[in-house]
Structure 1
Amino acid sequence: MSDDDEITLGRIETEVALLMRFGEATRRATGTAEHRVLDRAAYVILRHLDNSGPQNVSALAAQLNLDGSTVTRQVSALQRDGLITRTPDPSDGRGTVISATTAGLQRMAAVRSARTRLYGDMLADWSDEDRATLAALLGRLNQALVNRNRRR
């Protein structure tokens, strides 16, 4: 690896670390209640169920790269709050299929909308091309992370 590559990769590492830190700080500091109607874990699970449809805990855990027991705890909390339902898994009588409820999808949509507005405000002076490039590069980075975790 060349010195230039090492410098560039060091910058990427620093920027990703800052992105995660500032993103969480921004979420916590945002004054609107819309951002707080779901914690991050609930939001991610509901977004995934909205995009991929009902599924069992094992599939959900695999897609989110989480331990099954972690997802089970999160799903139990979502069920207590009426944001998901569990039904028997037709392919495995011992398991259950997790589905988002209307209330869960409504809360998730409210958070997504609030976050979209927030990013729209923060990136208002960026060109459409720059925003599209950022979206594409973040998508590639996330896919690289998924691919790396699948190889483990």
Structure 2
Amino acid sequence: MPLTAQTELDALLRKAGIDASIREAVMDIDGMLQQWRRRAMKRELGQRALVDLGVGIDLAQFDVLVAIEGPEPEFGEARGEIMVATVAERLNIDPSRASRLVSDMVERGFARRAVSQADARRTIIELSEQGRAIVDAVRAYKYLIMGDFLSHWAPEDLAAFVPLLKRFAKWSDGIDAAAEKYADEIKALSPAAGKPDVAA
């Protein structure tokens, strides 16, 4: 059953027991997230920071430096010894690609290989002084730009926004449960649902 009009979509959500104010919020949030996603994929702020700071690396290389540093707010874990496998996991890339990118950063002097304190047979990766300076500079650049934007907000708006954004950031954790809850509605939404079974 393809939804051909906004009224049909509204009716579907109403039938599912989703309140009118929530329905409106869902539609607004989805629109904003689509815009945000398109801008985030371009990574405008990160690109601009690398250009303005003249550090001579691209975003993929910068991501490797950040993955080596591994800040807890970004990766949600405490810092420990970093190996090539850690970089691959944090960036969700193939280990061989991670190995090439790490080697490039080592050759350029932004990172260095060291021996693990926990296991002398294991090679770990650390940021060099130059690599750390780049990560710190880019982060400071982003904080200046974002700080300027947020400085125009009322303190109470900011105090409400940050905890709510942290809470909202976890919305996708509930996809499986919600999909199971609305399994019948989702099945009916499929464009294939109204088509005759060709195999019959």
The TM-score with structure 1 as length reference comes to: 0.68
Q: Is the 8 A contact 1:84 1:99 kept in 2?
A: yes
Tell me if 1:110 matches 2:137: yes
Equivalent residue for 1:22? Answer: 39
User: Mean Cα displacement is larger for which, 31-40 or 57-66?
Assistant: 31-40
| Secondary structure class of the residue paired with 1:85 | strand
Rg bigger for which structure?
2
Within 1, Cα distance between the matches of 2:94 and 2:156? Answer: 38
Tell me if 1:34 matches 2:53: yes
Q: By how many angstroms is 1:42 displaced? A: 3.3
Pick the structure with more strand per residue: 1
The one of 153, 170, 194 equivalent to 1:126 is 153
Kindly tell me the number of residue pairs found equivalent between the two proteins.
146
Equivalent residue for 2:13? Answer: 2
Within 2, Cα distance between the matches of 1:143 and 1:130? Answer: 20
Equivalent residue for 1:65? Answer: 92
CA displacement 1:20-73 (0-9 Å, x = unmatched): 433423444569622765433333333343332431111232233333223223
Q: Is the 8 A contact 2:88 2:94 kept in 1?
A: yes
Q: Name structure 1 gaps, 5 residues minimum.
A: none
- Fraction of identical pairs, as percent: 23
Q: By how many angstroms is 1:83 displaced? A: 0.8
Q: Name structure 2 gaps, 5 residues minimum.
A: 1-11, 15-19, 72-78, 175-200
| Secondary structure class of the residue paired with 1:97 | strand
Q: Is the 8 A contact 1:85 1:99 kept in 2?
A: yes
| Secondary structure class of the residue paired with 2:143 | helix
Within 2, Cα distance between the matches of 1:108 and 1:31? Answer: 10
Within 1, Cα distance between the matches of 2:32 and 2:54? Answer: 24
Within 1, Cα distance between the matches of 2:58 and 2:167? Answer: 25
Q: By how many angstroms is 1:113 displaced? A: 0.6
The one of 89, 93, 100 equivalent to 2:127 is 100
RMSD: 3.5
| Secondary structure class of the residue paired with 1:55 | coil
| Secondary structure class of the residue paired with 2:36 | helix
Structure 1 residues 27 and 99, CA, compared in 2 at 3 Å: closer, same or farther? closer
Structure 1 residues 45 and 54, CA, compared in 2 at 3 Å: closer, same or farther? farther
Q: By how many angstroms is 1:102 displaced? A: 1.0
Tell me if 1:78 matches 2:105: yes
Equivalent residue for 1:43? Answer: 62
Q: By how many angstroms is 1:97 displaced? A: 1.1
Q: Is the 8 A contact 2:45 2:142 kept in 1?
A: no
